[in-house]
Amino acid sequence: MLIQFATVFVFLCLGLGFVVVSQVISHLIRPHNLHPAKQTVYECGEDAEGSPWIQFNVRFYLIALFFIVFDVEIIFMLPWAVAFNDMLKTLGAFAFWEMAFFITILALGLAYVWSKGDLEWVKGLQSRDLREVRPLSVLTSKDAAPHGRVKVSEHGG
Amino acid sequence: MEAFQQMLSQAGWAQGMQPWALSGLAMLFAGGTILGGVAVGAMFFIWTERKVAGYIQSRYGPMYVGHFHGVLQSIADGVKLLLKEDIWPTDADKFLFRIAPLLVFTGAFLSFVVLPFGPDFVGASLDIGLFYAFATSSLVVMGVIAAGWGSNNKWSLYGAMRGAAQVISYEIPLGLAVLPVVMSVGSLNLGTLAEAQRGWLWSWHLFNPIFFVSFVIYLISSLAEVNRVPFDLPETESELVSGYHTEYTGMKFAFFFLGEYADMFVVSAIAVSVFLGGWYTGIPAVDAFVPAPLVFILKSVFLVFVQIWLRWTLPRLRVDQLMYVCWKVFIPLSLANLFIYGLIRSMVG
Protein backbone atom coordinates (compact mmCIF):
# COMPACT_ATOMS: atom_id res chain seq x y z
CA MET A 1 0.00 0.00 0.00
CA LEU A 2 2.74 2.43 0.98
CA ILE A 3 4.70 1.68 -2.17
CA GLN A 4 1.63 2.60 -4.21
CA PHE A 5 1.51 6.01 -2.62
CA ALA A 6 5.24 6.28 -3.25
CA THR A 7 4.29 6.08 -6.92
CA VAL A 8 1.87 8.95 -6.40
CA PHE A 9 4.69 10.92 -4.81
CA VAL A 10 7.01 10.18 -7.75
CA PHE A 11 4.29 11.35 -10.14
CA LEU A 12 3.81 14.50 -8.08
CA CYS A 13 7.54 15.28 -8.25
CA LEU A 14 7.64 14.57 -11.99
CA GLY A 15 4.62 16.78 -12.66
CA LEU A 16 5.97 19.68 -10.60
CA GLY A 17 9.44 19.17 -12.04
CA PHE A 18 8.14 19.26 -15.59
CA VAL A 19 6.34 22.56 -15.04
CA VAL A 20 9.25 24.16 -13.18
CA VAL A 21 11.96 22.98 -15.58
CA SER A 22 10.11 24.14 -18.67
CA GLN A 23 9.47 27.52 -17.03
CA VAL A 24 13.20 27.81 -16.30
CA ILE A 25 14.13 26.85 -19.87
CA SER A 26 11.61 29.34 -21.17
CA HIS A 27 13.04 31.97 -18.80
CA LEU A 28 16.52 31.44 -20.24
CA ILE A 29 15.61 31.78 -23.90
CA ARG A 30 12.73 34.24 -24.02
CA PRO A 31 13.07 38.02 -24.40
CA HIS A 32 12.72 40.28 -21.36
CA ASN A 33 11.46 43.66 -22.51
CA LEU A 34 8.95 44.61 -19.86
CA HIS A 35 7.13 47.90 -20.25
CA PRO A 36 4.41 49.38 -18.03
CA ALA A 37 1.99 49.41 -20.95
CA LYS A 38 2.41 45.68 -21.44
CA GLN A 39 1.69 45.07 -17.81
CA THR A 40 -1.69 46.75 -17.72
CA VAL A 41 -4.74 44.62 -17.12
CA TYR A 42 -6.41 43.45 -20.32
CA GLU A 43 -9.99 44.63 -20.42
CA CYS A 44 -10.60 44.86 -24.14
CA GLY A 45 -8.33 47.88 -24.56
CA GLU A 46 -10.12 50.09 -22.05
CA ASP A 47 -8.27 51.40 -19.01
CA ALA A 48 -9.26 49.25 -16.08
CA GLU A 49 -11.62 50.97 -13.63
CA GLY A 50 -11.20 49.97 -10.02
CA SER A 51 -10.05 46.72 -8.57
CA PRO A 52 -11.71 43.41 -9.33
CA TRP A 53 -11.11 42.35 -5.75
CA ILE A 54 -14.58 43.27 -4.64
CA GLN A 55 -17.31 41.64 -2.60
CA PHE A 56 -18.65 38.92 -4.79
CA ASN A 57 -22.20 37.82 -5.36
CA VAL A 58 -23.50 35.65 -2.56
CA ARG A 59 -24.91 33.05 -5.01
CA PHE A 60 -21.48 31.54 -5.47
CA TYR A 61 -21.02 31.05 -1.74
CA LEU A 62 -24.46 29.46 -1.44
CA ILE A 63 -23.52 26.98 -4.15
CA ALA A 64 -20.30 26.22 -2.27
CA LEU A 65 -22.30 25.60 0.92
CA PHE A 66 -24.67 23.17 -0.81
CA PHE A 67 -21.67 21.49 -2.36
CA ILE A 68 -20.05 20.82 0.99
CA VAL A 69 -23.21 19.18 2.31
CA PHE A 70 -23.54 16.89 -0.68
CA ASP A 71 -19.85 16.16 -0.99
CA VAL A 72 -19.67 14.99 2.59
CA GLU A 73 -22.67 12.83 1.79
CA ILE A 74 -20.84 11.22 -1.14
CA ILE A 75 -17.75 10.61 0.99
CA PHE A 76 -20.01 8.89 3.50
CA MET A 77 -21.67 6.80 0.80
CA LEU A 78 -18.51 5.59 -0.94
CA PRO A 79 -17.42 3.10 1.77
CA TRP A 80 -21.04 1.96 2.06
CA ALA A 81 -21.18 1.34 -1.70
CA VAL A 82 -17.92 -0.61 -1.62
CA ALA A 83 -19.16 -2.82 1.21
CA PHE A 84 -22.71 -3.10 -0.17
CA ASN A 85 -22.38 -6.64 -1.54
CA ASP A 86 -21.01 -7.99 1.74
CA MET A 87 -23.56 -6.11 3.81
CA LEU A 88 -26.42 -7.54 1.73
CA LYS A 89 -25.28 -11.01 2.74
CA THR A 90 -24.94 -10.28 6.44
CA LEU A 91 -27.58 -7.61 7.06
CA GLY A 92 -30.03 -8.24 4.24
CA ALA A 93 -32.24 -5.44 2.98
CA PHE A 94 -31.46 -3.39 6.10
CA ALA A 95 -28.12 -2.48 4.45
CA PHE A 96 -30.10 -0.64 1.80
CA TRP A 97 -32.90 0.86 3.91
CA GLU A 98 -30.45 2.33 6.40
CA MET A 99 -28.77 4.31 3.63
CA ALA A 100 -32.09 5.08 1.95
CA PHE A 101 -33.17 6.75 5.19
CA PHE A 102 -30.01 8.85 5.20
CA ILE A 103 -30.43 9.83 1.56
CA THR A 104 -34.07 10.76 2.19
CA ILE A 105 -33.03 13.23 4.86
CA LEU A 106 -30.61 14.84 2.45
CA ALA A 107 -33.16 14.81 -0.36
CA LEU A 108 -35.54 16.61 2.00
CA GLY A 109 -32.83 19.20 2.52
CA LEU A 110 -32.49 19.61 -1.22
CA ALA A 111 -36.28 19.92 -1.56
CA TYR A 112 -36.31 22.59 1.16
CA VAL A 113 -33.56 24.61 -0.53
CA TRP A 114 -35.38 24.18 -3.83
CA SER A 115 -38.72 25.35 -2.47
CA LYS A 116 -37.06 28.35 -0.83
CA GLY A 117 -35.83 29.36 -4.27
CA ASP A 118 -32.15 29.23 -3.35
CA LEU A 119 -31.40 27.07 -6.37
CA GLU A 120 -32.62 29.86 -8.67
CA TRP A 121 -29.65 31.61 -10.14
CA VAL A 122 -31.56 34.89 -10.44
CA LYS A 123 -33.65 34.79 -7.33
CA GLY A 124 -35.10 38.27 -7.61
CA LEU A 125 -36.95 37.75 -10.87
CA GLN A 126 -39.61 35.53 -9.39
CA SER A 127 -40.72 37.93 -6.68
CA ARG A 128 -40.62 40.88 -9.06
CA ASP A 129 -42.97 39.16 -11.45
CA LEU A 130 -45.37 38.39 -8.64
CA ARG A 131 -45.20 42.02 -7.46
CA GLU A 132 -44.67 40.97 -3.93
CA VAL A 133 -41.98 42.27 -1.64
CA ARG A 134 -40.31 39.75 0.57
CA PRO A 135 -37.72 41.18 2.91
CA LEU A 136 -35.21 38.40 2.31
CA SER A 137 -35.44 38.33 -1.45
CA VAL A 138 -35.03 42.10 -1.70
CA LEU A 139 -31.53 41.77 -0.36
CA THR A 140 -30.54 39.37 -3.08
CA SER A 141 -32.75 40.66 -5.88
CA LYS A 142 -31.34 42.35 -8.93
CA ASP A 143 -33.24 45.55 -8.16
CA ALA A 144 -31.77 45.89 -4.69
CA ALA A 145 -29.05 48.31 -5.68
CA PRO A 146 -30.36 51.77 -6.59
CA HIS A 147 -29.51 53.04 -10.06
CA GLY A 148 -26.16 54.67 -10.43
CA ARG A 149 -24.53 52.64 -7.72
CA VAL A 150 -22.05 49.98 -8.68
CA LYS A 151 -23.81 46.70 -8.11
CA VAL A 152 -21.88 43.83 -6.69
CA SER A 153 -23.01 41.20 -9.09
CA GLU A 154 -21.33 39.07 -11.66
CA HIS A 155 -22.63 41.10 -14.57
CA GLY A 156 -22.52 44.42 -12.77
CA GLY A 157 -19.75 46.99 -12.62
CA MET B 1 4.30 0.00 -13.26
CA GLU B 2 4.29 -3.80 -12.97
CA ALA B 3 5.27 -4.06 -16.63
CA PHE B 4 8.28 -1.82 -16.07
CA GLN B 5 9.25 -3.69 -12.95
CA GLN B 6 9.22 -6.95 -14.88
CA MET B 7 11.26 -5.48 -17.72
CA LEU B 8 13.81 -4.11 -15.25
CA SER B 9 14.18 -7.34 -13.35
CA GLN B 10 15.05 -9.07 -16.62
CA ALA B 11 17.39 -6.35 -17.89
CA GLY B 12 21.07 -7.18 -17.48
CA TRP B 13 22.26 -3.81 -16.21
CA ALA B 14 19.68 -3.72 -13.44
CA GLN B 15 20.83 -7.01 -11.89
CA GLY B 16 22.11 -6.77 -8.36
CA MET B 17 20.18 -3.60 -7.56
CA GLN B 18 18.32 -3.23 -4.30
CA PRO B 19 14.60 -4.03 -4.58
CA TRP B 20 13.63 -0.53 -3.46
CA ALA B 21 15.89 1.02 -6.11
CA LEU B 22 14.35 -1.27 -8.69
CA SER B 23 10.80 -0.26 -7.86
CA GLY B 24 11.88 3.36 -7.62
CA LEU B 25 13.30 3.16 -11.13
CA ALA B 26 10.13 1.46 -12.34
CA MET B 27 8.08 4.31 -10.86
CA LEU B 28 10.26 6.86 -12.58
CA PHE B 29 9.97 5.04 -15.91
CA ALA B 30 6.19 4.73 -15.57
CA GLY B 31 5.88 8.39 -14.61
CA GLY B 32 8.18 9.49 -17.40
CA THR B 33 6.28 7.47 -19.98
CA ILE B 34 2.96 8.91 -18.88
CA LEU B 35 4.38 12.44 -18.71
CA GLY B 36 5.70 12.12 -22.27
CA GLY B 37 2.40 10.62 -23.33
CA VAL B 38 0.48 13.50 -21.77
CA ALA B 39 2.63 16.15 -23.45
CA VAL B 40 2.55 14.52 -26.90
CA GLY B 41 -1.08 13.44 -26.49
CA ALA B 42 -2.21 16.94 -25.57
CA MET B 43 -0.46 18.32 -28.65
CA PHE B 44 -2.19 15.68 -30.75
CA PHE B 45 -5.57 16.55 -29.21
CA ILE B 46 -5.03 20.26 -29.89
CA TRP B 47 -4.24 19.49 -33.51
CA THR B 48 -7.27 17.17 -33.72
CA GLU B 49 -9.48 19.81 -32.19
CA ARG B 50 -8.40 22.36 -34.78
CA LYS B 51 -8.83 19.92 -37.66
CA VAL B 52 -12.25 18.74 -36.47
CA ALA B 53 -13.32 22.34 -35.90
CA GLY B 54 -12.12 23.16 -39.41
CA TYR B 55 -13.99 20.37 -41.13
CA ILE B 56 -17.17 20.97 -39.12
CA GLN B 57 -17.06 24.59 -40.27
CA SER B 58 -16.26 23.72 -43.92
CA ARG B 59 -12.63 24.81 -43.83
CA TYR B 60 -9.36 22.94 -43.56
CA GLY B 61 -7.81 24.03 -40.28
CA PRO B 62 -3.99 23.93 -40.07
CA MET B 63 -2.54 22.76 -43.41
CA TYR B 64 1.09 23.87 -43.82
CA VAL B 65 3.37 23.02 -40.89
CA GLY B 66 4.72 19.51 -41.39
CA HIS B 67 3.36 19.29 -44.96
CA PHE B 68 0.72 16.65 -44.21
CA HIS B 69 -2.39 18.41 -42.92
CA GLY B 70 -0.36 20.57 -40.54
CA VAL B 71 0.50 17.69 -38.21
CA LEU B 72 3.39 19.61 -36.70
CA GLN B 73 1.31 22.74 -36.03
CA SER B 74 1.12 22.03 -32.29
CA ILE B 75 4.91 21.64 -32.05
CA ALA B 76 5.36 24.97 -33.82
CA ASP B 77 2.90 26.52 -31.37
CA GLY B 78 4.76 24.92 -28.47
CA VAL B 79 8.07 26.41 -29.60
CA LYS B 80 6.39 29.78 -30.04
CA LEU B 81 4.98 29.62 -26.50
CA LEU B 82 8.41 28.65 -25.16
CA LEU B 83 9.98 31.70 -26.78
CA LYS B 84 7.22 34.11 -25.83
CA GLU B 85 7.87 36.90 -23.38
CA ASP B 86 6.27 36.37 -19.98
CA ILE B 87 4.19 39.34 -18.85
CA TRP B 88 1.92 39.77 -15.87
CA PRO B 89 -0.31 42.60 -14.67
CA THR B 90 1.49 45.07 -12.39
CA ASP B 91 -0.95 44.60 -9.53
CA ALA B 92 -1.21 40.84 -9.81
CA ASP B 93 -0.81 38.64 -6.77
CA LYS B 94 2.49 37.19 -7.95
CA PHE B 95 2.47 34.09 -5.79
CA LEU B 96 -1.02 32.96 -6.79
CA PHE B 97 -0.39 34.00 -10.39
CA ARG B 98 2.67 31.75 -10.61
CA ILE B 99 1.31 28.81 -8.69
CA ALA B 100 -1.93 28.52 -10.69
CA PRO B 101 -0.55 26.76 -13.82
CA LEU B 102 1.38 24.44 -11.51
CA LEU B 103 -1.81 23.40 -9.72
CA VAL B 104 -3.83 23.02 -12.90
CA PHE B 105 -1.27 20.86 -14.68
CA THR B 106 -0.15 18.81 -11.69
CA GLY B 107 -3.74 18.17 -10.63
CA ALA B 108 -4.58 16.83 -14.05
CA PHE B 109 -1.35 14.84 -14.29
CA LEU B 110 -1.76 13.22 -10.86
CA SER B 111 -5.03 11.62 -11.98
CA PHE B 112 -3.04 9.56 -14.48
CA VAL B 113 -1.54 7.54 -11.64
CA VAL B 114 -4.67 5.42 -11.24
CA LEU B 115 -5.73 5.06 -14.89
CA PRO B 116 -5.67 1.34 -15.76
CA PHE B 117 -4.19 1.19 -19.27
CA GLY B 118 -4.07 -2.56 -18.94
CA PRO B 119 -3.86 -5.27 -16.28
CA ASP B 120 -0.14 -4.54 -15.76
CA PHE B 121 -0.07 -1.01 -17.08
CA VAL B 122 -1.22 1.14 -14.21
CA GLY B 123 0.87 3.67 -12.30
CA ALA B 124 -0.43 2.59 -8.91
CA SER B 125 -3.44 0.36 -8.59
CA LEU B 126 -4.87 2.24 -5.62
CA ASP B 127 -7.87 0.69 -3.89
CA ILE B 128 -9.42 4.14 -3.62
CA GLY B 129 -8.68 4.88 -7.30
CA LEU B 130 -11.96 6.52 -8.23
CA PHE B 131 -12.03 8.62 -5.07
CA TYR B 132 -8.42 9.63 -5.65
CA ALA B 133 -9.21 10.71 -9.21
CA PHE B 134 -12.09 12.90 -8.00
CA ALA B 135 -9.83 14.37 -5.31
CA THR B 136 -7.04 15.30 -7.71
CA SER B 137 -9.53 16.86 -10.08
CA SER B 138 -10.42 19.23 -7.23
CA LEU B 139 -6.82 20.49 -7.28
CA VAL B 140 -7.61 21.92 -10.71
CA VAL B 141 -10.35 24.08 -9.16
CA MET B 142 -7.79 25.53 -6.76
CA GLY B 143 -5.62 26.41 -9.76
CA VAL B 144 -8.52 28.06 -11.53
CA ILE B 145 -9.40 30.14 -8.46
CA ALA B 146 -5.75 31.06 -7.91
CA ALA B 147 -5.45 32.15 -11.54
CA GLY B 148 -8.63 34.21 -11.43
CA TRP B 149 -7.87 35.91 -8.14
CA GLY B 150 -4.16 36.34 -8.78
CA SER B 151 -4.58 37.98 -12.18
CA ASN B 152 -6.27 41.08 -10.76
CA ASN B 153 -8.45 41.13 -13.85
CA LYS B 154 -12.23 41.30 -13.80
CA TRP B 155 -12.70 38.83 -16.64
CA SER B 156 -10.38 36.37 -14.95
CA LEU B 157 -12.18 36.62 -11.64
CA TYR B 158 -15.64 36.19 -13.18
CA GLY B 159 -14.38 33.20 -15.12
CA ALA B 160 -12.75 31.67 -12.08
CA MET B 161 -15.82 32.12 -9.86
CA ARG B 162 -18.08 30.62 -12.50
CA GLY B 163 -15.59 27.82 -13.05
CA ALA B 164 -15.40 26.99 -9.38
CA ALA B 165 -19.19 27.07 -8.91
CA GLN B 166 -19.66 24.88 -11.97
CA VAL B 167 -16.96 22.34 -11.23
CA ILE B 168 -17.94 21.80 -7.61
CA SER B 169 -21.63 21.60 -8.53
CA TYR B 170 -21.08 18.97 -11.19
CA GLU B 171 -18.78 16.96 -8.96
CA ILE B 172 -21.88 15.82 -7.06
CA PRO B 173 -23.78 14.17 -9.96
CA LEU B 174 -20.42 12.83 -11.14
CA GLY B 175 -19.83 11.14 -7.80
CA LEU B 176 -23.42 9.93 -7.44
CA ALA B 177 -23.52 8.55 -10.99
CA VAL B 178 -20.67 6.09 -10.45
CA LEU B 179 -22.05 4.84 -7.12
CA PRO B 180 -24.36 2.12 -8.56
CA VAL B 181 -21.41 0.65 -10.44
CA VAL B 182 -19.27 0.76 -7.30
CA MET B 183 -22.07 -0.99 -5.41
CA SER B 184 -22.27 -3.72 -8.02
CA VAL B 185 -18.53 -4.37 -8.24
CA GLY B 186 -17.71 -3.59 -4.63
CA SER B 187 -14.50 -1.72 -5.32
CA LEU B 188 -13.22 1.77 -6.08
CA ASN B 189 -10.17 0.39 -7.84
CA LEU B 190 -10.44 1.40 -11.50
CA GLY B 191 -8.64 -1.77 -12.58
CA THR B 192 -11.10 -3.96 -10.69
CA LEU B 193 -14.02 -2.01 -12.14
CA ALA B 194 -12.67 -2.65 -15.64
CA GLU B 195 -11.93 -6.30 -14.81
CA ALA B 196 -15.60 -6.81 -13.89
CA GLN B 197 -16.54 -6.17 -17.53
CA ARG B 198 -14.51 -9.03 -19.00
CA GLY B 199 -16.22 -11.11 -21.64
CA TRP B 200 -18.66 -10.31 -24.39
CA LEU B 201 -19.79 -6.82 -25.28
CA TRP B 202 -23.00 -7.03 -23.22
CA SER B 203 -21.06 -7.55 -20.00
CA TRP B 204 -19.93 -3.92 -20.22
CA HIS B 205 -21.64 -1.78 -17.63
CA LEU B 206 -22.95 0.46 -20.38
CA PHE B 207 -25.53 -2.15 -21.39
CA ASN B 208 -27.16 -2.39 -17.97
CA PRO B 209 -30.18 -0.03 -18.06
CA ILE B 210 -29.43 1.51 -14.65
CA PHE B 211 -25.74 1.94 -15.36
CA PHE B 212 -26.67 3.43 -18.72
CA VAL B 213 -28.49 6.27 -16.96
CA SER B 214 -25.38 6.66 -14.80
CA PHE B 215 -23.24 6.77 -17.91
CA VAL B 216 -25.29 9.54 -19.52
CA ILE B 217 -25.19 11.59 -16.30
CA TYR B 218 -21.45 10.96 -15.97
CA LEU B 219 -20.70 11.91 -19.58
CA ILE B 220 -22.59 15.21 -19.45
CA SER B 221 -21.28 16.11 -15.99
CA SER B 222 -17.73 15.34 -17.05
CA LEU B 223 -18.09 17.87 -19.88
CA ALA B 224 -18.93 20.47 -17.25
CA GLU B 225 -16.13 19.20 -15.03
CA VAL B 226 -13.50 19.98 -17.69
CA ASN B 227 -15.18 23.25 -18.73
CA ARG B 228 -15.96 22.20 -22.26
CA VAL B 229 -18.74 23.49 -24.48
CA PRO B 230 -21.70 23.55 -23.86
CA PHE B 231 -20.48 24.21 -20.31
CA ASP B 232 -17.52 26.48 -21.08
CA LEU B 233 -18.82 29.42 -19.04
CA PRO B 234 -15.48 29.93 -17.25
CA GLU B 235 -13.88 30.70 -20.61
CA THR B 236 -16.64 32.15 -22.79
CA GLU B 237 -14.47 33.77 -25.45
CA SER B 238 -17.27 36.08 -26.54
CA GLU B 239 -17.84 37.74 -23.17
CA LEU B 240 -14.89 37.09 -20.83
CA VAL B 241 -12.11 37.15 -23.49
CA SER B 242 -10.58 33.92 -22.21
CA GLY B 243 -11.83 33.61 -18.65
CA TYR B 244 -9.40 32.75 -15.90
CA HIS B 245 -6.32 32.55 -18.15
CA THR B 246 -6.85 35.91 -19.87
CA GLU B 247 -3.66 37.40 -18.43
CA TYR B 248 -1.40 34.42 -19.04
CA THR B 249 1.19 34.19 -21.80
CA GLY B 250 3.96 31.86 -22.85
CA MET B 251 4.65 28.69 -20.94
CA LYS B 252 2.21 29.51 -18.14
CA PHE B 253 -0.59 29.67 -20.69
CA ALA B 254 0.69 26.47 -22.28
CA PHE B 255 0.27 24.62 -18.99
CA PHE B 256 -3.35 25.71 -18.67
CA PHE B 257 -3.88 24.27 -22.12
CA LEU B 258 -1.98 21.06 -21.41
CA GLY B 259 -3.93 20.67 -18.18
CA GLU B 260 -7.26 21.11 -19.94
CA TYR B 261 -6.52 18.49 -22.58
CA ALA B 262 -5.02 16.10 -20.03
CA ASP B 263 -8.19 16.50 -17.99
CA MET B 264 -10.33 15.70 -21.02
CA PHE B 265 -8.41 12.46 -21.39
CA VAL B 266 -8.70 11.65 -17.69
CA VAL B 267 -12.50 11.96 -17.54
CA SER B 268 -12.78 9.93 -20.75
CA ALA B 269 -10.46 7.24 -19.40
CA ILE B 270 -12.47 7.00 -16.18
CA ALA B 271 -15.65 6.64 -18.25
CA VAL B 272 -13.96 3.90 -20.27
CA SER B 273 -12.80 1.94 -17.25
CA VAL B 274 -16.07 2.30 -15.33
CA PHE B 275 -18.65 1.96 -18.11
CA LEU B 276 -17.08 1.05 -21.43
CA GLY B 277 -15.28 -2.18 -20.67
CA GLY B 278 -11.81 -0.84 -19.85
CA TRP B 279 -9.19 -2.60 -21.93
CA TYR B 280 -11.57 -5.31 -23.18
CA THR B 281 -12.71 -5.24 -26.79
CA GLY B 282 -16.00 -6.99 -26.11
CA ILE B 283 -15.02 -10.15 -28.00
CA PRO B 284 -13.08 -12.61 -25.79
CA ALA B 285 -11.18 -14.14 -28.72
CA VAL B 286 -9.85 -10.75 -29.80
CA ASP B 287 -8.80 -9.81 -26.26
CA ALA B 288 -6.18 -12.55 -26.35
CA PHE B 289 -3.93 -10.91 -28.93
CA VAL B 290 -4.82 -7.18 -28.93
CA PRO B 291 -2.55 -5.19 -26.57
CA ALA B 292 -4.64 -3.88 -23.66
CA PRO B 293 -3.21 -0.32 -23.55
CA LEU B 294 -4.01 0.14 -27.24
CA VAL B 295 -7.69 -0.74 -26.73
CA PHE B 296 -7.93 1.44 -23.65
CA ILE B 297 -6.28 4.45 -25.28
CA LEU B 298 -8.32 4.12 -28.48
CA LYS B 299 -11.58 4.07 -26.53
CA SER B 300 -10.53 7.08 -24.47
CA VAL B 301 -9.40 8.99 -27.55
CA PHE B 302 -12.78 8.28 -29.09
CA LEU B 303 -14.52 9.85 -26.08
CA VAL B 304 -12.17 12.85 -26.33
CA PHE B 305 -13.20 13.09 -29.96
CA VAL B 306 -16.85 13.12 -28.87
CA GLN B 307 -16.05 16.04 -26.54
CA ILE B 308 -14.41 17.94 -29.41
CA TRP B 309 -17.32 17.11 -31.70
CA LEU B 310 -19.82 18.45 -29.15
CA ARG B 311 -17.80 21.61 -28.72
CA TRP B 312 -18.19 22.58 -32.34
CA THR B 313 -21.82 21.48 -32.59
CA LEU B 314 -23.63 22.87 -29.55
CA PRO B 315 -24.16 26.47 -28.43
CA ARG B 316 -23.23 27.52 -24.90
CA LEU B 317 -25.66 27.34 -21.98
CA ARG B 318 -26.49 30.29 -19.73
CA VAL B 319 -25.27 30.28 -16.13
CA ASP B 320 -28.75 29.77 -14.68
CA GLN B 321 -29.47 26.93 -17.14
CA LEU B 322 -26.19 25.32 -16.14
CA MET B 323 -27.10 25.38 -12.48
CA TYR B 324 -30.66 24.28 -13.25
CA VAL B 325 -29.45 21.18 -15.08
CA CYS B 326 -27.10 20.24 -12.28
CA TRP B 327 -29.15 20.85 -9.15
CA LYS B 328 -32.68 20.24 -10.40
CA VAL B 329 -32.17 17.50 -12.98
CA PHE B 330 -28.96 15.56 -12.47
CA ILE B 331 -28.78 15.38 -8.69
CA PRO B 332 -32.41 14.21 -8.19
CA LEU B 333 -32.05 11.88 -11.18
CA SER B 334 -28.84 10.29 -9.94
CA LEU B 335 -30.26 9.97 -6.40
CA ALA B 336 -33.34 8.25 -7.85
CA ASN B 337 -31.13 6.02 -9.96
CA LEU B 338 -29.12 5.05 -6.91
CA PHE B 339 -32.30 4.40 -4.93
CA ILE B 340 -33.80 2.19 -7.65
CA TYR B 341 -30.60 0.20 -8.00
CA GLY B 342 -30.35 -0.32 -4.24
CA LEU B 343 -34.02 -1.30 -4.05
CA ILE B 344 -33.66 -3.91 -6.79
CA ARG B 345 -30.51 -5.29 -5.23
CA SER B 346 -32.02 -5.45 -1.74
CA MET B 347 -34.97 -7.43 -3.13
CA VAL B 348 -33.11 -9.68 -5.57
CA GLY B 349 -29.94 -9.99 -3.54
Write the DSSP string, chain A.
Answer: -HHHHHHHHHHHHHHHHHHHHHHHHHHHHS-----TTTTS--STTSPPPS-S--PPPHHHHHHHHHHHHHHHHHHHHHHHHHTHHHHHHHHTTHHHHHHHHHHHHHHHHHHHHHHTTTT-SS-HHHHHHTT---HHHHHHSTT-SPTTSPP-STT--
Asked if residue B293 is part of any domain, the answer here is yes
What are the tens digits of pLDDT across the range B59-113? 888 888 877 888 888 888 888 888 888 888 887 788 888 888 888 888 888 888 8
Tell me the pLDDT of chain A averaged across its residues.
Answer: 75
Residues of B in contact with A85 (CB under 8 A): 183-184, 186
SS3 B348: helix
Average pLDDT, chain B: 85
What confidence tens digit (pLDDT) does each residue in B21-73 have? 777 787 888 888 888 888 888 888 888 888 888 999 898 888 888 778 888 88
CA-based nearest distance B71→chain A, Å: 23
- Distances in Å between the Cα of B148 and the Cα atoms of B96, B143, B152, B336 are 9, 9, 7, 36
Domain boundaries, position B306? 87-348
Specify the number of domains making up chain B.
1
| pLDDT over 70 (residue B330) | yes
In a domain? residue B16: no
The answer, yes or no, to whether residue A123 has pLDDT greater than 70, is: no
- pLDDT at res. A148: 43
Identify which has the larger pLDDT, A138 or B192: B192
CB contact under 8 A, B171 and A120: no
Least confident of A19-23, A24-28, B116-120: B116-120
Q: Assign A140 a pLDDT band (cuts: 50, 70, 90).
A: low
pTM, entire model:
0.84
| DSSP structural state of residue B318 | P
> For the residues B123-132, what does the mean pLDDT come to?
84
> Cβ–Cβ of B345/A12 closer than 8 Å?
no
In the predicted structure, residue A157 carries a pLDDT above the cut 50:
no
What distance in Å separates residue B319's CA from the closest CA in chain A? 8
Residue B77 to residue B48: CA distance in whole angstroms: 14
State whether residue A64 sits within 8 Å of chain B by CB: yes
Alpha-carbon distances of A27 from A36, A98, B81, B84, B250, rounded to whole Å:
19, 58, 11, 9, 10
In the structure, what pLDDT confidence band is assigned to residue A156 with cuts at 50, 70 and 90? very low
CA pair distance B28, B237, nearest whole angstrom = 39
- Residue B10 counted as domain residue: no
pLDDT tens by residue, A108-121: 888 888 887 777 77
Residue-wise pLDDT for A81-114, tens only, equals 888 888 888 887 888 888 888 888 888 888 888 8
- Whole-number pLDDT of residue B271: 92
Residues of A with CB below 8 A from B171's CB? 67, 71
Is A60 in the B-facing interface, judged by CB distances under 8 Å?
Answer: yes
Residues in chain A with CB shorter than 8 Å from the CB of B342 are 84, 96, 99-100
Residue at B250 is within a domain: yes
Question: Measured between CB atoms, does A77 come within 8 Å of chain B?
Answer: yes
